């Protein structure tokens, strides 16, 4: 059976929980596409992905689906690869976050790049939020960690998020995945071992939360 080894690991009751969990992924690039792949292969059947972008040649070093067609919609392409997932093709903005109904979802995975969207997501759905920090410019997967946003360190984006949240007098907890490795370049360099591992870590945390 397709999921037998997952059932052996998670147990029948745990696997049943996975199949009933509803997860939304915001952004399906280098991090989000691997989170999607991991959740899908682990037996989560209720997955919604949100993105507005199309694939570019520069995405092919790290994004699942990028090899299928340059210029093609990311969500449409991934829907063909992962049968049965739900898609929302739109540009995610703070306004969209504030208007969108997150109540049907048990877990919200934020794999987008926009700081203000991350702030909006934190303020609206921190109780079920798992957020990716900066995965670019790094090469060492052993430096990847996860913790409360307030305990994250060594990551410029995480520091910016913390500072912005303090300005909004927001002090609630949510989990972030981050790396404290020193950036290896100034440009937007990226390495699939790290970006993919961020996505896999988000998936692992999500599954651990479900099983608990």
pTM to 2 decimal places: 0.96
What local confidence, expressed as pLDDT, does residue 177 receive? 98
User: How many domains are there within the chain?
Assistant: 1
Average pLDDT, the chain: 96
Percent of the chain with pLDDT over 70: 100
Cβ atoms 81, 65 nearer than 8 A: yes
Q: 107 is in which domain, residue-wise?
A: 4-211
| CATH code of residue 145 | 3.40.50.720
* C-alpha to C-alpha distances, 76 to 36, 48, 52, 86, nearest whole angstrom: 14, 12, 10, 10
Question: Looking at the predicted structure, is the pLDDT value of residue 188 above 90?
Answer: no
pLDDT in tens, 117-159: 999 999 999 999 999 999 999 999 999 999 999 999 999 999 9
What local confidence, expressed as pLDDT, does residue 24 receive? 98
Instruction: Report d(CA 25, CA 34) in Å as an integer.
Output: 11
Question: Looking at the predicted structure, is the pLDDT value of residue 187 above 90?
Answer: no
Instruction: Report d(CA 125, CA 127) in Å as an integer.
Output: 5
Question: Looking at the predicted structure, is the pLDDT value of residue 171 above 90?
Answer: yes
Q: List CB contacts of 65: < 8 A, sequence separation 6 or more.
A: 28, 33, 55, 74, 77, 78, 81
């Amino acid at each position: 059976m397709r999921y037998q080894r997952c059932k052996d690991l998670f147990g029948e009751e745990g696997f049943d929980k996975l199949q009933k969990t509803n997860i939304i992924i915001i952004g399906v690039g280098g991090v989000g596409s691997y989170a999607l792949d991991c959740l899908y292969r682990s037996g989560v059947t209720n997955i919604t992905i949100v993105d507005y972008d199309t694939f570019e040649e520069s995405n092919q070093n790290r994004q699942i689906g990028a090899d299928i067609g340059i210029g093609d919609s990311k969500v449409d392409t991934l829907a063909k690869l992962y049968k049965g997932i739900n898609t929302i093709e739109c540009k995610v903005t703070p306004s969209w976050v504030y208007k969108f109904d997150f109540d049907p979802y048990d877990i919200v995975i934020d794999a987008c790049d926009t700081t203000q969207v991350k702030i909006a997501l934190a303020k609206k759905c921190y109780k079920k939020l798992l957020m990716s920090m900066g995965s670019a410019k790094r090469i060492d997967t052993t430096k990847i960690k996860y913790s409360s946003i307030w305990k994250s360190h060594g990551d410029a984006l995480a520091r910016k998020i913390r500072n912005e949240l303090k300005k909004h007098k927001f002090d609630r907890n949510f989990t972030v995945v981050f790396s404290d490795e020193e950036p290896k370049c100034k440009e937007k360099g990226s390495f699939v071992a790290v970006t993919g591992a961020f996505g896999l870590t988000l998936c692992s945390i999500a599954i651990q939360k479900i099983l608990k």
